[in-house]
Structure 1
Amino acid sequence: MSQAVLNVEGMSCNHCVNAVEGAVAEAGASGKVDLATKQVTIDYNIDQVTVEAIIAAIEEQGYDVIK
């Protein structure tokens, strides 16, 4: 299992947290958002999903991932 921390701009409430965590889950990983730091910590299997796919899923929800 690998882990990545992504900075996500545009999150401001619990709805945002749910949207981002849901997008990460749909991409095939698990994620935990820290709204105060605007970061999401992702646990994923590198054989099943890429960080780029997870970023794309988050951005499809309307949030900006800062690289």
Structure 2
Amino acid sequence: MQEATVKVQGMSCRSCVPRIEGAINALGAEGRVNFEQGTVDVRFDESKVQISDIQEVIRKKGYNVEA
């Protein structure tokens, strides 16, 4: 399993947390949002999911992702 931290901008309230985590989990990865830090810690199997897939699904939910 790979682990990474993704910086996310645009989270305005705590209701953003389940939106982002749910989208990441739907990919088959694990996501844990730290609202205060503006980050998402992710764990994923690189043979199934790439970090770029995770970043893209966060963008599709309307948030900005720092590369």
State TM-score, norm by structure 1: 0.94
Q: Structure 2 unaligned segments of length 5 or more: list them.
A: none
| More helix by percentage | 1
Spell out the pairing of 1:1-67 with structure 2 (5 A cutoff). 1-67=1-67
Aligned length: 67
RMSD: 0.7
Which consecutive segments of 4 or more residues in structure 1 shift more than 2 A? none
In 2, Cα distance between the equivalents of 1:27 and 1:63? 17
Identical-pair percentage: 34
In 1, Cα distance between the equivalents of 2:56 and 2:28? 12
Q: Structure 1 unaligned segments of length 5 or more: list them.
A: none
Residue 64 of structure 1, CA deviation: 0.5
State TM-score, norm by structure 2: 0.94
